[in-house]
């Protein structure tokens, strides 16, 4: 059950229409989660009416930048159920004329953070808590760099590797490397249907022969002067 406790602090108006509230330091969600009943992630997902991932938008905040309830959120994708792209979710702190009210199991989001929200609410603002499964999504730097990549685009953009060159396929000798760079290939296996044109274009973009380089023999084809694996 959610119990709200009045903290009895005055509101301080800040610039640009935002509200800052002087309050006691907020507790981290990890500490609150320790008091939740043991429920598996699968059970949390099954009990939720909606599960979605999104980014918290700027709004009225309490101490340490925690967003007051309800907070606005831009949904990136729904993992269960459906709804609008901009939603309102309840947080642990509710800003009111006489002070702020705090919920022990509520979430403590800040603007710009990415959160996964579990809710069983039928309408907004969506009620949620750390015990229902809601949690902050912390990505690795590598994933963050690729987040905006248009996976669903058709056609998708080409990502060049190296300096516009195809990466070395693992050649065993210098002569094989020269033949590879010069575009001298010899097929030793049938191509999949529709690949003939691609192979012809690959051979058409040959580079000038390296001075003093002789073609290597393919290890599985004695006497063959063309390359390659």
Q: What local confidence, expressed as pLDDT, does residue 209 receive? A: 58
Q: What local confidence, expressed as pLDDT, does residue 185 receive? A: 72
The mean pLDDT value of the chain amounts to 74
Q: Give the pLDDT band of residue 131 (cuts 50, 70, 90).
A: very high
Q: Report yes or no: 107 and 91 within 8 Å, Cβ to Cβ.
A: yes
Q: What local confidence, expressed as pLDDT, does residue 193 receive? A: 77
**155 in helix, strand or coil?**
coil
Distance in angstroms (rounded) separating the CA atoms of residues 159 and 172: 27
- In tens, the pLDDT along 206-218 reads 666 555 444 444 4
Query: Lowest mean pLDDT: which of 17-26, 91-100, 195-204?
Result: 17-26
Look at 85 and 160; give whichever has higher pLDDT: 85
What whole-number percentage of the chain has pLDDT above 70?
68
Give me the residue label for tokens 């529709």.
194
Q: What local confidence, expressed as pLDDT, does residue 81 receive? A: 96
Does the pLDDT of residue 97 top 50, yes or no?
yes
Q: What local confidence, expressed as pLDDT, does residue 33 receive? A: 55
Q: Report yes or no: 70 and 119 within 8 Å, Cβ to Cβ.
A: no
Range 144-158 average pLDDT: 78
| Three-state DSSP string of 197-229 | HHHHHHHHCCCCCCCCCCCCCCCCCCCCCCCCC
Q: Give the pLDDT band of residue 4 (cuts 50, 70, 90).
A: very low
Look at 102 and 127; give whichever has higher pLDDT: 127
Q: Report yes or no: 105 and 129 within 8 Å, Cβ to Cβ.
A: yes
b/e 198-228 (16+ beta carbons within 10 angstroms → b) = eeeeeeeeeeeeeeeeebbbbeeeeeeeebb
Query: Lowest mean pLDDT: which of 32-36, 80-84, 89-93, 166-170?
Result: 166-170
Is 4-144 assigned to CATH 3.40.50.300? Answer: no
Query: Lowest mean pLDDT: which of 14-28, 52-66, 75-89, 157-171?
Result: 14-28
Q: Report yes or no: 223 and 217 within 8 Å, Cβ to Cβ.
A: yes
Q: What local confidence, expressed as pLDDT, does residue 100 receive? A: 81
Q: What is the pTM of this model?
A: 0.53
Largest alpha-carbon pair distance within the chain? Answer: 91
Q: Domain coordinates of the chain in residue numbers?
A: 4-144, 165-229
């Amino acid at each position: 059950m959610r119990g709200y406790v009045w903290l009895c602090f005055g509101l301080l108006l800040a610039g640009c229409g935002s509200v800052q509230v002087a309050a006691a330091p907020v507790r981290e969600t990890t500490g609150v989660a320790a008091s939740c009943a043991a429920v598996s992630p699968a059970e949390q997902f099954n009990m939720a009416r909606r599960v979605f991932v999104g980014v918290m938008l700027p709004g009225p905040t309490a101490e340490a930048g925690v967003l007051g309830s309800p907070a606005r959120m831009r949904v990136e994708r729904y993992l269960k159920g459906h709804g609008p792209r901009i939603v309102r979710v309840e947080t642990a702190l509710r800003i009111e004329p006489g002070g702020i009210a705090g919920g022990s199991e509520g979430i403590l989001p800040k603007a710009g953070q990415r959160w996964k929200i579990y809710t069983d609410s039928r309408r907004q603002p969506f009620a949620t808590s750390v015990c229902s499964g809601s949690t902050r999504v912390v990505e690795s730097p590598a994933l963050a760099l690729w987040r905006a990549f248009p996976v669903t685009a058709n056609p998708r953009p080409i990502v060049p590797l190296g300096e516009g060159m195809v990466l070395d396929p693992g050649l065993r000798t210098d002569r094989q490397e020269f033949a590879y760079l010069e575009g001298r290939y010899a097929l030793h296996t049938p191509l999949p249907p529709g690949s003939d044109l691609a192979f012809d274009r690959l051979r058409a973009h040959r580079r000038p022969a390296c001075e003093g380089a002789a073609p290597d023999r393919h290890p599985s084809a004695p006497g063959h002067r063309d390359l390659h694996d």
